[in-house]
A and B are shown apart, each in its own frame.
Chain A
Amino acid sequence: MRQRRFAWSRSPSRSNRLDPLYLDDKIWKAEQQQKRRLSTNIKSFIKSEPAIVLYLTLWSFYIRLWKIWQPGSVVFDEVHFGGFASKYINTGFFMDVHPPLAKMLIALVAKLAGFDGAFDFKEIGLDYEDANVPYVAIRTFCAVLGALTIPMAYLTMKKTGHSTMSGLLVALMICYENGLITNNRLILLDPILLFFTSATTLTWVNFCDKDKNYKPFNLQWYFWLAMTGLNMGLTASCKWVGLFTIATIGLPTIKRLWDIWGNTDISKLKFMHHFFARSLCLIVLPIAVYMAMFVIHFHSLPNTGEGDSFMSPEFQQSLAGSNSHMSDTPLDIAYGSRVWVRHEGTRGGYLHSHPHEYLTGSGQQQITLYPHKDDNNWWIIEKPRNARRRRPDGPGGIEYVRDGDRIRLVHALSSKRLRSHDEQPPLANDEYHKEVSAHNDEDSRNDRESDWIVDIVAHNENDVDSKYRLRAIHSRFRLRHSTQRCALFSHEKKLPEDWGFGQQEVTCMQNSKLPKTIWYIEANQHSRLGKDVEMVNYNHPNFLAKFLELNKIMWDVNKGLTASHPYDSRPQAWPFLQRGISFWGKDGRHIYLLGNPAVFWSSTFAVVGYILVAFLTVLMEKRGIFDLYNESAARFFITGWCAHYFPFYLMSRQLFLHHYMPALYYAVLLFGSMFDLITIWLTSRKKMMLVIMASYCVIYAYRNFIPITYGEPWSQISCENAKWTRTWDFDCVQ
């Protein structure tokens, strides 16, 4: 615009040299013409595509950001994700089931907004304003990302060849979706995840557009392909739900490759080009992005923190200032060594005893696993009195502990011996578990019940000696009991808090499988070993080892999240919006995550409708009637919906309504597609009327639930009236 006006203002000066009158007229005419052009330019801009996108963006900013400062206290999972931001700022290692990208973005924004990490987001309802937390900035960041899905949805619809009307309808439905609004306005991972999901969708449909006519491998083609891969990687780096997005892209890719393979006009070489281009951009690139996020993650959290205990000792060793940081320890172990015996099968820690007795079984002194460094972890390896003597085989006249040796473990502080006998342990109640205790009453000469046989089951490949005799860290061994035919065992069952201090139970198990009976020695002292002995320590894991370990633990912890939550729900409840989640409540105001029923129900209706139409199409094709309905965009959307919905049925962990949000996004897109299908016979005017009516319904439903969406005050009567179904359990108490 500005460019044109400039040209226009310059033009009279050039023509002034000619006849003034004529020129005046001409100038006037030109002026008029320019004015007209300007106004048509503005007019055409107002109606143009970019303008629509701009309006939608601005409007959704308004809807998302309205009273963003409200409520001024911690809401729902802000407890976690706000908390992680402060942990990033404090650089202490922590464990979470989600990949790091979204949390790092939140932390970055918090840092830029001046958050010092002092606030710990401990529980719902804690006040932000008193603690000076820049929560508005963080929420704005999330809300902006969430709002950007709306123009992207519109663009996706347009790019897949749908009408402007259905594009607008889809955008409005997403804009006025109360659940998305609630979820996007808060410090949560979902807005970021949704942003990348919809970005992936948009870049993918752009790529499909370029790929449509078999004119591949130009710059644009590669650009969109790579962008799709990049976005896929970013989505998966926010939450593992992103894997479903990857499946959504992967399935059509396989289909497309199969079609290309079937096109005999395309040479095999060219097919290979197609194949490798896609593998590179859609497999290698996302993996690289995902791993890069973990590089940044490890780099940001160099210090020890509350996540240590989830990790292996090797991993902990790589953290600075770790409490469990090990200094080097002598490699050789001999009779008389003072040792720390660590359990390998669980993260329970060290074999431990303390001057407290079991309340069950024998009533002798307890044996537990204790995760921290403690003097009660020290054990002394002794030879049973009646055992065969060997010639000292180590320096300074010491005798090494060899594979198959019979030993005794004496608790250093209480001088009691580790033993097992035919008693039921406190927790494990199968008859093949025997109690393990510390005791020294009997005549130690005949006390066969405190003899243990060392079986080395694994060793460090670079240290052959560690296979034949016990060496710190390098030898992994079992302790077999001499009379009970059982092996020293521990599992993740905690003794009662009141007498067992919540420490992990240790038993002796008969016929046990290997993993949970494996132990090793972590620290070792011997008075007769000199200073110049060979020392050992944990290997420093490289990035790949750390990355794999962390991901495995995330997977295990995620699978273990099976405890029930008062507001959890199963997938079958989501499409019909049977129940929401109570996010926050204070002084008679409430935030309750509840979708816009008009959007939920109509999108579910669209899914059912599509399935019916598709089924009918297949049926008709079988009967020889072809091309009834074949909409590739709708097929893509339903793939997205299925891929983001059905896998949840296989998960036994606790699930919430907000897990449906990505699927809902695809369902709404599908609704737009179905809308175009039904209204194909209507004139554009009638179609517009229909869109206005539909939008009215959506907005009406939206307005109904404004109070629980934004945490506004509400009268009890209108609150009760808003309970359209019996299963919505938001709190109406004022």
Chain B
Amino acid sequence: MENLKRRHITPDVHQQPSPPVYEQYNPATLIDHNYGDEKNKFAKPLPPQQRVVYSSNKYIAFCQKYHRALIPAGLTLLAFWTRFRQIGLSNIVVWDEAHFGKFGSHYLKNEFYFDVHPPLGKMLVGLSGWLSGYNGSFAFESGHKYPEDVNYTGMRIFNAFWGALLVPLAYLTARQFKMSQRASILAATMVLLDTAYLCISRFILLDSMLMFFTCLSLYCMTVFNNCKNEPFSENWWLWLGMTGFSLGCVLSVKWVGLFVIALVGLNTIEDLWEMLGDVQMPKKTYAAHWLARAVCLICIPTLVYLFSFAMHFLVLYRSGPGDAQMSSLFQARLAGNSFERNPLDLAYGSKLTIKNYGYGGGLLHSHVQTFPEGSKQQQVTCYHYKDDNNHWIIRPPRVIGNPQDYEPENGNVRFVKDGDVIRLIHPPTGRNLHSHPIAAPITSGQWEVSAYGNETVGDIQDNWKVEIVDDLVYKDKERVRSLTTRFRLRHTQLNCLLSANNVVLPQWGFKQIEVTCDKRNRENDPHTWWNVEEHYNDNLPPAPKNAYKSKFLHDFWHLNVAMWTSNNALIPDPDKEDILSSTPSEWPLASVGLRMCGWGDDIIKYYLLGNPAVWWPAFASLLVFLASAGFYLARMQRKIHDLSNAQWDHFLYVGKTLFLGWFLHYIPFCIMGRVTYLHHYFPALYFSILMVPFLLEHWTAKMSNRTQWIVFGIAYVSVIAVFIYFAPVAYGMSGPISNYKGRRWLKSWNLVDK
């Protein structure tokens, strides 16, 4: 509690009227006047108040006066220059431009596609294409040359713009962490001159946007933290809201955004916890703090995320390559799709295709080939593509009850109702959907499903009972409707459920999906749910307009599940060498680079590689922070106080935030099973970069001004010099790669072939 109060007070000390004092801010001057401990040798008295004295030279005076705007503006200009320089040099599709450029084209053509990432980043890519006058006609095939009419330079500049903004953000964030100007500019320089950041920003990729929003979130959070002593003020609300908005944007670009959300979340929880200890705070105020954070940090990001998907569905109204990933009902909505003409209610004699509702489910399928083992009857599988062999006709069941029950009623049709027993005939072969107590070919614990007999030959094992799960649009469960009704098919004899669990059949089954009759009776498993996709019946009218309206939230959820599932399916073969992918352990020390395009002599080559003078100190700074924190803690436990309370609080706050930021953006990749690439480390790197000037300043605070300048000078010079040496890897290397072999500092860099 004492600490908390002091932290509230500390900013007051520095709210001096004169800006220059603010500029001289460094950790050593973070003195706590409440703390009158004699032992504190390092606490210096506050420098006497200074009057602002501007230089007599009017230009210098101007700079002194407006340095707050001038420095970020200068950094931004530098960033633009480094990012935009020679941006169109390579006129071929580089690296993942093949994906993201293509997705951008889909937005311009309004065709529905499927991808593992949320839509915001790709919509921005689409926007960049629209702004630069691209019509979406180019296929973005990897390594292909851009045609004349594609203004790829414009698209790249749009992307590089986001990447350039990292530089002023790094400066401003460092300032919010109360670093001196010298240190803050070092932070910005390291971001500016990191070859990896430079390289990844210059192409049509999502990373620059992801980085921008991640860094923006951190910046907003730090500004908000500095508003703590004036809660519920305009500024306070503004930055809290901005934090939430920016979090929503990161999440809508890539799910990696969850990590920065975790960082902000932990910061918020700590904040609220500290406030709980303030016994003087009225309970109402405390509740208001909770509420404000819930609204700004949970509701706003959720809304932004939902909004990005709403836009996504709105823009992509045409049928496209991603249809099959979505529910049948969603597909009915897309222009250029025939489902809209489907008659609504199913009747006996209807011809239909039946889709498995489980994620990645295919259409129930049969073909003349037979099972090589088991019953050796005709195969029944699930198949993902349109084919006449997917068709089935509903027929009355075999020898059950009164045949008249299946005569057409009121006119010429009889509708299928919940609980009806039916038989399904496969029109191309005339066989019936059949199951029997013979083990399925792969999942041997379940019964095999085959196609057997014909219209006259057959037995009661051809009978299936329709059990309606629910209807997505209509409330009642009476009739089975195409697209909207989800139902199970239960085998009447064996009491098992028709299901497809995404098990792939071997070559004899053409690698289609195995269909089994599941005796485990898992009624809640979507893999046992089916819905009708196409429906033909000449006796029935087509469905009325808007009969197949899917709900946004439902589609949203379905798409997110599909993204999650296919993201997790990106598992590499452990025995296969993939020179593009890398493991997280290789990242922090920049011991791996990434060839972003072909490596021939006539191609402009880009090598995604970190600037060693940035990456190595950045990683070292994390270890130094841990060591220093451990050192201080152990000494404090022993009642030796090297820092005043306020200094320690500040040190811990900045170090903890940056370390956690790095940790949360790095460790999850070690656990993930999916394939990982070098650029996954970039958000984590940003946090560790900010740690470098912070620790440099912290440990040089007690040294003379001259020594400080020498230390920082070395840092500046090494970053700049190494950048100049390595700049070609990011700006494009022309000619034979052997010209650059001297830059292969580590053996593990595959810059040149061994």
| A contact set with B: CB distance below 8 Å | 258, 261-262, 264, 360, 424, 429-430, 432, 489, 491, 509, 511-513, 515-516, 619, 622-624
Contacts and interface: CB of A to CB of B under 8 A. Distances in A.
Interface stretch (B153-161, B408-416, B488-496, B633-641): B633-641
A152 to B, nearest CB: 35
Nearest to B636: A262
A624 B279 contact: yes
B578 interface: yes
A622 B634 CA distance: 24
Nearest to B279: A624
Nearest to A432: B576
Contact of B277 (A424, A513, A623): A623
A136 to B, nearest CB: 39
Contacts of A264: 638-639
A512 B575 contact: yes
A619 B276 contact: yes
B405 interface: no
Given A261-B634, A511-B576, A511-B577, 7 more contacts: A262-B638, A264-B639, A512-B575, A619-B276, A622-B277, A623-B277, A623-B279
A623 B274 CA distance: 10
B638 A624 contact: no
A230 to B, nearest CB: 31
A261 B635 CA distance: 9
B561 interface: no
Contacts of B557: none
A284 B224 CA distance: 50
Contacts of B578: 511
A261 B573 contact: no
A53 to B, nearest CB: 41
Interface residues of B, number: 17
Nearest to A268: B638
A429 B511 CA distance: 10
Contacts of A258: 637
The 3 closest A-B pairs by CB, nearest first: A262-B637, A622-B277, A511-B577
A639 B277 CA distance: 26
B507 A360 contact: yes
Given A258-B637, A261-B638, A360-B507, A624 B576 contact: no
A491 B575 contact: yes
B1 interface: yes
Interface string B616-647: 00000000000000000010011100000000
B385 interface: no
Contacts of A430: 573, 576
A432 B276 CA distance: 60
B276 A516 contact: no
A432 B577 CA distance: 11
A585 B1 CA distance: 64
A430 B578 CA distance: 14
A265 to B, nearest CB: 11
B637 A516 contact: no
Contacts of A513: 574-577
A512 B637 CA distance: 53
A50 B315 CA distance: 82
B608 to A, nearest CB: 20
Contacts of B1: 624
Interface in B562-593: 573-578
A516 B638 CA distance: 53
A512 B273 CA distance: 52
A509 B276 contact: no
A672 to B, nearest CB: 32
A434 B91 CA distance: 36
A171 B507 CA distance: 62
A512 B573 CA distance: 10
A264 B639 CA distance: 8
Interface in B258-287: 273, 276-277, 279
B279, B573, B634, B638 — most chain A CB neighbours (10 Å): B573
B273 A622 contact: yes
Interface string B1-39: 100000000000000000000000000000000000000
A512 B277 contact: no
27 contacts: A261-B634, A261-B637, A261-B638, A262-B638, A360-B507, A424-B507, A429-B507, A429-B511, A430-B573, A489-B575, A509-B575, A509-B576, A511-B578, A512-B575, A512-B576, A513-B574, A513-B576, A513-B577, A515-B575, A516-B575, A619-B276, A622-B273, A622-B276, A622-B277, A623-B277, A623-B279, A624-B1
B276 A623 contact: yes
Contacts of A424: 507
Contacts of B511: 429
A424 B507 CA distance: 10
B159 to A, nearest CB: 31
A366 to B, nearest CB: 17
Nearest to B576: A511
Contacts of A619: 276
B418 to A, nearest CB: 27
Nearest to B273: A622
A513 B583 CA distance: 14
Contacts of B276: 619, 622-623
B712 to A, nearest CB: 36
A624 B1 CA distance: 9
A432 B576 CA distance: 9
Nearest to B1: A624
A619 B275 CA distance: 12
A164 to B, nearest CB: 38
A340 B1 CA distance: 75
A515 B574 CA distance: 10
A430 to B, nearest CB: 7
Nearest to A513: B577
A624 B637 CA distance: 22
Contacts of B273: 622
A515 B576 CA distance: 10
Interface in B469-508: 507
A218 B675 CA distance: 57
A511 B639 CA distance: 59
A260 to B, nearest CB: 10
B505 to A, nearest CB: 11
Contacts of A624: 1, 277, 279
Nearest to A623: B279
A511 B581 CA distance: 13
B747 to A, nearest CB: 16
B352 to A, nearest CB: 32
A489 B568 CA distance: 27
Nearest to A489: B575
Contacts of A623: 276-277, 279
B574, B575, B576 — most chain A CB neighbours (10 Å): B575
Nearest to B276: A622
A261, A424, A511 — most chain B CB neighbours (10 Å): A511
Contacts of B573: 430
